[in-house]
């Protein structure tokens, strides 16, 4: 306690410079690795913040959550999260995460990666993990192009959009990711943009607490490459575009929510259903067939 | 430590190499298997699919070999002993994540029951033409351990050894069978669990803050691991990294990282080395062989001995790391090495390189699909002795 000049007593609670810099979310981040590699106005940082908020609200133990990324801008997310984190090979985040999640069923394993990583080179793994209903939460950051390598066209690039390998515009049909996820067997499917941070965080909490293959697509601005090549303006212009063109439609039929070039983006929670996970189904099935002879997998060998 | 008795099928069996390999894995404590069916390795996966639910193992058939290899690395980091099995075309796909396993120093076992190639080649017939792919198949610089069994009994014994080597050196270990050994049925004796030596994973037990997932100080030292979920908040990456596992993209870190991957095997070649030698001390000719070819060569060696030729044999049980020093020693005392292998010359190149011109190297090639005619090997022995 200290006397102030005006005579009132006041508790000295001025934070030290170090404390001043500490953000309540820092415990989820490897702050020693900052500054991060992402461009100014990139949406990945915002999505990471939403992820941390969603994770905190989920009440899951920080120790029991692992994150796996593939390769690309979004693939670097694992490296900044203070969780057990794995930066793997291009396209193989999901099968790596499958091994990790099945290897230790106590874990909640999250995959954070990009659209090129998850549904082009990793597309086969995506559909099969969904089909098996592996207990994974997949956060697919979709910036409509391969940004790490300089803005090439990818499986989500809309028709007409320009990319470095589509210099006259893209003419391939893109994937509609929520439809792909739903038809492959996902139990939870949502789409947001990096503008919808609170809704996204809520979806992330729901997905983390949902047993089985949950999928969230997040539309993310890439002002350095995608927006620049297509003259879509700055990061702020892109956020304004999301604000004006995102249409929240929970429960929308995923067949009807394709994304067209510079057109409305349907967002919301589309699917939320219950289905036994791979392990639940397996254990029940094998116990039924083998009876007492069945020895369930006990997780990793004890130390 | 002793093996867990639940996984050890103690007794005398009459099984083929593929089945024996599966039993070896289970005995060694492997409890996670991810794979994709491919001839002639499928029987390994089939036996594991049948046995695992009764011994507390987890079998998953993945969508392809890329995924299988990735899954076993993930499982290994969860704390499981993990394995996958494949043959030529699948081996090619696994090269991608074999590199990741090497970079992350992940203990796991990859079995390749070799068939004839290239491409789809001879799905049902034998080959030994993936030996150089085993050494160099994934991109970048690294060293690898590869074993080559020549009987179903060895498929059992050496699969246990493969897991032990994987844990000792924190590396993926390649188990290079061939279709003949995989499909050959013989007596296999599985000992009691207490007689099986199994190397457990080396886990870190110190302060959480001071844990480093990698150690690049000295080639003999490999950092202990931790299990995902134990609160160490590890980060590992396929990028060039420091001891914390954090990516550092410069030549200095690359030097430390790659030298460690290479030297931990290269400097310990003699500790890892498994060879079988017979009559090499005063031999004029030494037949160097591995896998099924080592058994076919015995007929030629016996015939040559009956003709009065002093011929010895050297069987490579560990093919990689290559026993370069030993070959060089023998090159000083023998006239020629005869190398029969079911390829157009792979290990023969290494023998030639290691002998540095001190002894002749005579390759007896075979394109695959069947084993050598022993007379072809005999001819080479006679040529070498002349």
Q: Does A95 touch chain B if contact means CB atoms closer than 8 Å?
A: yes
Q: Does B236 touch chain A if contact means CB atoms closer than 8 Å?
A: yes
Distance CA A100, CA A94 (A): 10
Helical axes A93-103 vs A123-132, angle rounded to 10°: 30
- pLDDT grade, residue B220 (50/70/90)? low
Nearest residue in A to B55, CA atom: A295
Chain B hits for A68, CB-CB cut-off 8 Å, are: 74
Question: What is the C-alpha R_g of chain A?
Answer: 21
| Both structure tokens of B323 | 């026993």
- pLDDT grade, residue A170 (50/70/90)? very high
Interface with chain B: mutation pick from A103, A129, A184, A277, highest number of B CBs within 10 Å: A103
Over residues B234-264, the pLDDT tens digits come to: 999 999 999 999 999 999 999 999 999 999 9
Residue A6 pLDDT greater than 60, yes or no: no
B218: left (phi over 0), alpha (psi -120 to 50) or beta: left
Q: Please indicate whether, in this complex, the C-beta atoms of A303 and B74 are within 8 angstroms of each other.
A: no
Q: Does B370 touch chain A if contact means CB atoms closer than 8 Å?
A: no
Q: Does B73 touch chain A if contact means CB atoms closer than 8 Å?
A: yes
CB of A143 within 8 A of CB of A222? yes
Query: Shortest CA distance to B170 belongs to which of B234, B252, B226, B93?
Result: B226
The CATH class, in words, for B276-385 is: alpha beta
Nearest residue in B to A83, CA atom: B233
Over residues A18-72, the pLDDT tens digits come to: 666 778 899 999 999 999 999 999 999 999 999 999 999 999 999 999 999 999 9
Domain ranges in chain B are 5-195, 276-385
Quick one: B358 exposed, middle or buried, by C-beta within 10 A (0-12, 13-18, 19+)?
middle
Over residues B35-62, the pLDDT tens digits come to: 999 999 999 999 999 999 999 999 999 9
Over residues B188-199, the pLDDT tens digits come to: 999 999 999 999
Domain B5-195 and domain B276-385, same fold? Reply is: yes
Considering the four listed CATH numbers 3.30.70.260, 1.10.3720.10, 3.40.50.970, 1.10.1740.10, the one that applies to the domain covering B5-195 is 3.40.50.970
b/e for A181-190, b at 16 or more Cβ within 10 A? bbebbbbbbb
| Both structure tokens of B160 | 């246990």
In eight-state DSSP terms, residue A39 is P
| Both structure tokens of B338 | 């005869």
Query: Shortest CA distance to A259 belongs to which of A149, A115, A124?
Result: A115
Q: pLDDT averaged over chain A?
A: 94
Strands B318-320 and B145-147: antiparallel
Q: pLDDT averaged over chain B?
A: 97
- pLDDT grade, residue A1 (50/70/90)? very low
Distance CA A175, CA A26 (A): 36
Nearest residue in B to A75, CA atom: B237
Distance CA B210, CA A174 (A): 47
Distance CA B263, CA B101 (A): 16
Nearest residue in A to B68, CA atom: A95
Between the alpha carbon of residue B37 and those of residues A301, B87, B214, the distances in Å are 27, 9, 34
**Topology annotation, domain A32-293:** Rossmann fold (3.40.50)
CB of B76 within 8 A of CB of B108? yes
| Both structure tokens of A246 | 């995102």
Chain A hits for B72, CB-CB cut-off 8 Å, are: 99
Q: Does A36 touch chain B if contact means CB atoms closer than 8 Å?
A: no
Q: Please indicate whether, in this complex, the C-beta atoms of B78 and A299 are within 8 angstroms of each other.
A: yes
Give me the DSSP letters along B192-210.
Answer: -GGGSB-PPP-B--S-STT
Distance CA A253, CA A249 (A): 9
Domain ranges in chain A are 32-293
Over residues A221-255, the pLDDT tens digits come to: 999 999 999 999 998 999 999 999 999 999 999 99
Q: Please indicate whether, in this complex, the C-beta atoms of A96 and B230 are within 8 angstroms of each other.
A: no
Q: Please indicate whether, in this complex, the C-beta atoms of B229 and A63 are within 8 angstroms of each other.
A: yes
CB of A83 within 8 A of CB of A56? no
Interface with chain B: mutation pick from A300, A302, A303, highest number of B CBs within 10 Å: A300
Chain A hits for B203, CB-CB cut-off 8 Å, are: 303
Supply the pLDDT for residue A2: 47
Query: Shortest CA distance to A186 belongs to which of A238, A118, A243, A235?
Result: A118
Mean pLDDT of B110-118: 98
b/e for A252-272, b at 16 or more Cβ within 10 A? bebeebbbeeeeebbbbbbbb
Q: What percent of chain A has pLDDT over 90?
A: 89
Residue A10 pLDDT greater than 60, yes or no: no
Nearest residue in A to B99, CA atom: A89
Mean pLDDT of A183-211: 98
Among residues 119-178 of chain A, which lie with CB inside 8 Å of chain B?
124-125, 128
- A139, containing H or E segment: strand A136-142
Distance CA A268, CA A218 (A): 11
Helical axes B292-306 vs B374-385, angle rounded to 10°: 50
* Coil/strand/helix, residue A117: helix
ipTM surpassing 0.95:
yes
How many inter-chain contacts (A to B, CB under 8 Å) are there?
171
Supply the pLDDT for residue A19: 62
Q: Which of A83, A98, A125 sits opposite B233 (nearest CB)?
A: A83
Neighbours of B303 (CB within 10 A): 17
Q: Please indicate whether, in this complex, the C-beta atoms of B66 and A95 are within 8 angstroms of each other.
A: yes
CB of A257 within 8 A of CB of A217? no
């Amino acid at each position: 306690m200290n006397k102030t000049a005006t005579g009132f007593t006041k508790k000295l609670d001025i934070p030290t410079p170090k404390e001043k810099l500490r953000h309540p979310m820092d415990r989820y981040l490897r702050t020693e690795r900052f500054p991060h590699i992402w461009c100014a106005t990139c949406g990945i940082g915002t999505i990471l913040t939403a992820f941390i908020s969603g994770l905190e609200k989920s009440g899951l133990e920080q120790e029991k959550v692992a994150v796996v990324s593939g390769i690309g801008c979004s693939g670097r997310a694992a490296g900044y999260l203070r969780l057990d984190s794995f930066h793997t090979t291009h396209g193989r985040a999901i099968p790596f995460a499958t091994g990790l999640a099945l290897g230790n069923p106590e874990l909640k394993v999250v995959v954070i990666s990009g659209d090129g990583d998850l549904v082009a080179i990793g597309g086969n793994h995506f559909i099969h993990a969904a089909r098996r209903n592996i207990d994974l939460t997949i956060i697919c950051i979709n910036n409509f192009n391969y940004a790490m390598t300089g803005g090439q066209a990818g499986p989500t690039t809309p028709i007409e959009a320009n990319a470095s390998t589509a210099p006259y515009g893209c003419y391939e049909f893109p994937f509609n990711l929520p439809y792909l996820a739903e038809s492959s067997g996902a139990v939870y499917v949502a789409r947001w943009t990096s503008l919808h941070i609170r809704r996204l965080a809520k979806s992330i909490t729901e997905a983390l607490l949902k047993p089985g293959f949950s999928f969230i697509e997040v539309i993310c601005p890439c002002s350095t490459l995608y927006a620049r090549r297509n003259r879509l303006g700055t990061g702020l212009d892109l956020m304004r575009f999301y604000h004006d063109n995102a249409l929240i439609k929970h429960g929308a039929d995923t067949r009807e929510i394709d994304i067209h070039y510079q057109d409305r983006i349907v967002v919301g929670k589309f699917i939320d259903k219950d289905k036994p996970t791979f392990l639940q189904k397996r254990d029940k099935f094998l116990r039924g067939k083998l009876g007492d002879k069945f020895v369930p997998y006990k997780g990793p060998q004890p130390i | 430590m002793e093996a867990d008795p639940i996984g050890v099928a103690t007794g005398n069996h009459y099984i083929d190499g593929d089945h024996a390999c599966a039993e070896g894995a289970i005995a060694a404590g492997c409890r996670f298997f991810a794979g994709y069916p491919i001839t002639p390795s499928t029987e390994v996966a089939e036996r594991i699919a049948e046995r695992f639910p009764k011994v507390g193992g987890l079998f998953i058939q993945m969508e392809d070999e890329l995924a299988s290899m990735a899954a076993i690395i993930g499982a290994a980091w969860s704390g499981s002993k993990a394995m996958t099995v494949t043959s030529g075309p699948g081996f090619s796909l696994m090269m991608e994540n074999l590199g990741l396993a090497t970079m992350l120093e992940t203990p796991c076992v990859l079995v390749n029951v070799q068939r004839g190639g290239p491409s789809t080649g001879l799905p049902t017939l034998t080959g030994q033409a993936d030996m150089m792919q085993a050494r160099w198949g994934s991109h970048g610089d690294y060293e690898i351990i590869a074993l080559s069994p020549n009987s179903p009994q060895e498929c059992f014994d050496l699969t246990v050894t493969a897991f032990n080597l994987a844990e000792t050196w924190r590396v993926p270990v390649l188990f290079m069978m061939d279709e003949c050994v995989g499909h050959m049925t013989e007596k296999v004796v599985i000992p009691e669990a207490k007689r099986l030596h199994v190397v457990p994973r080396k886990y870190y037990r110190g302060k959480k803050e001071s844990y480093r997932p990698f150690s690049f100080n000295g080639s003999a030292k490999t950092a202990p691991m931790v299990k995902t979920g134990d609160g160490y908040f590890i980060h590992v990456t396929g990028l060039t990294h420091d001891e914390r596992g954090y990516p550092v993209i410069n030549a200095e870190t690359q030097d430390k990282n790659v030298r460690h991957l290479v030297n931990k095997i290269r400097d310990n070649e003699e500790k890892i080395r498994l060879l079988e030698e017979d009559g090499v001390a005063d031999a004029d000719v030494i037949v160097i062989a591995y896998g099924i070819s080592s058994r076919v060569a015995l007929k030629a060696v016996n015939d040559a001995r009956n003709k009065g030729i002093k011929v010895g044999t050297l069987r490579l049980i560990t093919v990689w790391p290559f026993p370069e020093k030993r070959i060089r020693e023998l090159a000083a005392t023998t006239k020629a090495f005869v190398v029969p292998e079911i390829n157009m010359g792979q290990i023969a190149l290494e023998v030639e390189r290691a002998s540095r011109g001190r002894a002749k190297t005579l390759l007896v090639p075979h394109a695959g699909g069947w084993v050598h005619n022993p007379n072809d090997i005999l001819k080479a022995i006679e040529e070498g002795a002349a």
